[in-house]
């Protein structure tokens, strides 16, 4: 398998030229965040990803995880890699220094986590869930819970999980049956959870589960609400924690089986049972987060964090698949060049990256990966402003933007990751269909990303419902206005590339605006018609937002190329960025008008489907 190399040039370009690392560094608490510091951190992260995590990706996929007597054994080398990971302080990058964190921006964390997911997605799932658990407790945990759990979770000495769904529930959390009965200051939980990522493993000494459960009796003995309103959120540790912070007895929970999956085989996906051992005769000991019956509200903090991370999985695996296909295509010789007037002509076979269709596929992979990276980092920068900006109005504006784009990052980036990985197999041809080539693993691994943490269809419904229709398109239209603000800069640029990019971007923005207006106008009277266009609308927003950021990239590259010399940066990289942006405008952004028509017209056949069988 091709060695992985973190795309540091593009990562730095996006951070510094597109999404405003300098502005993030001016937020309160980030004054020490300089480009030199970020460069050094990314260099070290790249080395860990390339030298420690990436070499385990293939072997971990082959070996998989094993459940023996309730204990999960992960593949060879994984526990040692995790020990090196937490020893380097990587688990606590964005968190409060009071709990041992590094206190760095989410923007920097996002870039670092792309490296982990690209190098070894199965490994990265463990710290990803821990990160989400820390964020949840940071926002909603009591001082008591923080005192017990935060420092160990931030360091990564303990890991976290998210325990939502059950066999009968699927994505419908209103059907959760796991029960939590209050007993003094604690609760006792009984029930089963499925699809729990790293619910049991051999990385850490303790595993801290964030569990949704129903409190049917209520704290006052009155029956709690039905549906999702009756759910509460609990911290349930694998080992109970003594008053001095040391580990006590094993809690009444266990992994009863591992799922046999098509990918991420080195990540244990567990079915968990709570309360079957009968601790104190009642269940697994648990501690309430916040108030009863507000579990869904609290869990959304964790889920939104996780959804951004899942979107990064799409970006990371796409990058890895692209590098793999690019390097293969540069070495594999087959067929003669169509340009017989060049040195490639004649009867000699040439590397397949000389063939136009292979170039097209490679550019398809590269340009879309770069666009999804830019959007993920853009949202991360907005998240930092939403948390830290001194002006409350700006914080609210940025939070609304984050809320709007989280489902887009999650769904569009993972759909794109699947497309890119699938194209990588095509580049390799027959070899790509062989497991030993390494290409199939990227597709098998990233395929889950469109399903978990809310399927991409659910993300699309969230986007059109909560984020567009319910607020009359205010935030979406504000984003569209920002996109239109780039037109003057593009108009002032010279050269065919910028002109073509401007034309495609204008058409794309118009298409997004038309679809957004239609959703706002149609949803009150015909929400089913709007729902039928939810997925194409999300793709439309991703394609146009990505095109906007790629247009900004083209402007920045054009400016730096014109500057030349040391200030101009790497000329080859910048020229390549112009090529990516032009390709995106010609091959991807041009899809926007058709997607808009699908949004506004697509309901007709969908609405008649059941009538015709």
- Can you tell me which residue has the tokens 């690392």? 21
Which run of H or E residues covers position 410? Answer: helix 392-428
Residue 488, token pair as written in the block: 């003057």
State the sign of the Cα–Cα–Cα–Cα dihedral 559, 565, 569, 572: positive
In order along the chain (613 residues), what is the average pLDDT of each group of 10 residues?
Answer: 89 97 96 94 98 98 95 97 97 95 96 98 97 94 96 97 90 87 90 96 97 76 73 96 95 96 97 76 89 91 88 98 97 85 66 95 98 98 96 97 97 98 97 96 98 94 96 97 94 87 97 98 95 97 98 95 70 95 98 98 85 61
What tens digit of pLDDT does each residue of 414-440 get? 999 999 999 999 999 999 999 999 999
How deeply is 465 buried, as exposed, middle or buried, from its count of CB atoms within 10 A (0-12, 13-18, 19+)?
middle
Cα 181 to chain centroid, rounded: 35
Task: Return the pLDDT at 494.
Answer: 75
Task: Return the pLDDT at 171.
Answer: 80
Task: Return the pLDDT at 541.
Answer: 98
Range list of β-strands (E), 198-340: 206-214, 231-237, 239-241, 247-250, 253-258, 269-274, 284-288
Relative orientation angle of helices 534-563 and 592-601, to the nearest 10 degrees: 160
Which run of H or E residues covers position 127? Answer: helix 106-140
How deeply is 326 buried, as exposed, middle or buried, from its count of CB atoms within 10 A (0-12, 13-18, 19+)?
middle
Task: Return the pLDDT at 1.
Answer: 58
Domain 159-293 falls under CATH 3.40.50.2000: no
Task: Return the pLDDT at 154.
Answer: 97
CA distance 15 to 9: 10
DSSP letter at 453? S
Task: Return the pLDDT at 216.
Answer: 75
The residues, any chain, with a CB within 8 Å of residue 259's CB and separated by 6 or more, are: 194, 195, 269, 270, 271
Task: Return the pLDDT at 570.
Answer: 87
Catalytic (active site) residue 453: yes
CB 21 within 8 A of CB 39: no
Task: Return the pLDDT at 607.
Answer: 82
State the sign of the Cα–Cα–Cα–Cα dihedral 149, 152, 155, 159: negative
DSSP letter at 465? I
First-residue to last-residue Cα distance in the chain: 47
- Can you tell me which residue has the tokens 């319910």? 470
Nearest CA-CA partner of 190 in 151, 169, 168, 216:
216
Residue 299, token pair as written in the block: 């869990």
- The length of the chain is 613
Of 17, 135, 453, 507, the catalytic one is 453
CA distance 91 to 288: 25
Second CATH level (architecture) for the domain 8-140:
Orthogonal Bundle (1.10)
Cα 537 to chain centroid, rounded: 19
Residue 53, token pair as written in the block: 């995590």
Count helices and strands in the chain by DSSP H and E runs: 20, 12
Task: Return the pLDDT at 281.
Answer: 53
Nearest CA-CA partner of 214 in 197, 206, 226, 202:
226
- Can you tell me which residue has the tokens 């083209």? 554
């Amino acid at each position: 398998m091709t060695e992985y190399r973190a795309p540091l040039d593009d990562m730095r370009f996006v951070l510094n030229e597109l999404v405003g690392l300098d502005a993030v560094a001016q937020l309160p608490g980030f004054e020490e965040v300089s480009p030199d510091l970020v460069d050094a951190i990314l260099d070290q992260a790249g080395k860990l990803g390339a030298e420690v995590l990436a070499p385990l990706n293939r072997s971990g996929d082959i070996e998989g995880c094993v459940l023996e007597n309730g204990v999960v054994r992960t593949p060879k080398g994984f526990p040692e890699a995790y020990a090196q990971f937490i020893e380097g302080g990587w688990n606590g990058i964005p968190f409060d220094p009071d709990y041992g964190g590094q206190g760095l921006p989410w923007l920097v964390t996002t870039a670092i986590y792309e490296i982990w997911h690209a190098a070894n997605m199965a490994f990265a799932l463990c710290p990803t869930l821990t990160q989400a658990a820390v964020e949840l407790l940071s926002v909603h945990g009591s001082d008591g819970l923080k005192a017990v759990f935060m420092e160990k979770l931030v360091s990564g000495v303990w890991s976290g999980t998210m325990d939502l769904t059950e066999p009968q529930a699927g994505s419908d959390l209103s059907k959760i049956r796991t029960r939590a009965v209050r007993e003094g200051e604690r609760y006792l939980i009984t029930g089963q959870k499925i699809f729990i990522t790293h619910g049991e493993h051999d990385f850490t000494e303790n595993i801290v589960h964030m569990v949704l459960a129903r409190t049917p009796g209520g704290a006052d003995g009155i029956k709690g609400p039905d549906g999702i309103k009756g759910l509460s959120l609990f911290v349930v540790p694998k080992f109970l924690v003594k008053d001095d912070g040391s580990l006590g007895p094993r809690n009444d929970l266990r992994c009863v089986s591992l799922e046999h999956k098509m990918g991420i085989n080195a990540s244990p996906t567990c079915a968990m049972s709570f309360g079957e051992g009968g601790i104190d005769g009642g269940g697994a000991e648990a501690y309430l987060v916040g108030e009863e019956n507000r579990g869904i509200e609290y869990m959304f903090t964790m889920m939104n964090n996780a959804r951004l991370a899942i979107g990064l999985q799409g970006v990371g695996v796409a990058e890895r698949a692209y590098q793999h296909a690019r390097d293969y295509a540069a070495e594999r010789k087959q067929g003669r060049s169509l340009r017989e007037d060049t040195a490639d002509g004649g009867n000699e076979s040439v590397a397949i990256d000389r063939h136009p269709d292979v170039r097209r596929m490679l550019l398809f992979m590269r340009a879309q990966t770069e666009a999804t990276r830019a959007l993920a980092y853009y949202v991360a920068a907005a998240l930092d402003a939403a948390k830290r900006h001194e002006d409350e109005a700006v914080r609210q504006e940025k939070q609304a933007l984050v809320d709007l784009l989280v489902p887009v990052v999650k769904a569009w980036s993972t759909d794109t990751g699947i497309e890119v990985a699938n194209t990588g197999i095509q580049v390799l041809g027959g070899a790509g269909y062989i497991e030993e080539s390494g290409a199939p693993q990227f597709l098998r691994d990233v395929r889950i990303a469109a399903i978990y943490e809310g399927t991409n269809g659910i993300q699309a419904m969230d986007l059109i419902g909560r984020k567009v229709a319910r607020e009359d398109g205010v935030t979406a239209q504000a984003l569209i206005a920002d996109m239109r603000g780039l037109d003057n800069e593009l108009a002032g640029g010279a050269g065919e590339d910028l002109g073509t990019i401007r034309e495609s971007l204008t058409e794309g923005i118009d298409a997004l605006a038309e679809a957004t207006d239609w959703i706002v106008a149609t949803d009150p009277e015909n929400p089913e018609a709007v729902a039928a266009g939810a997925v194409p609308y999300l793709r439309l927003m991703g394609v146009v937002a990505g095109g906007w950021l790629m247009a900004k990239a083209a402007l920045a590259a054009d400016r730096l190329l014109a500057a030349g010399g040391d200030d101009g940066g790497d000329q080859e990289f910048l020229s390549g960025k112009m090529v990516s942006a032009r390709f995106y405008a010609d091959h991807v952004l041009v899809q926007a008008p058709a997607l808009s028509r699908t949004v506004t017209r697509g309901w007709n056949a969908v609405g008649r489907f059941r009538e015709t069988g």
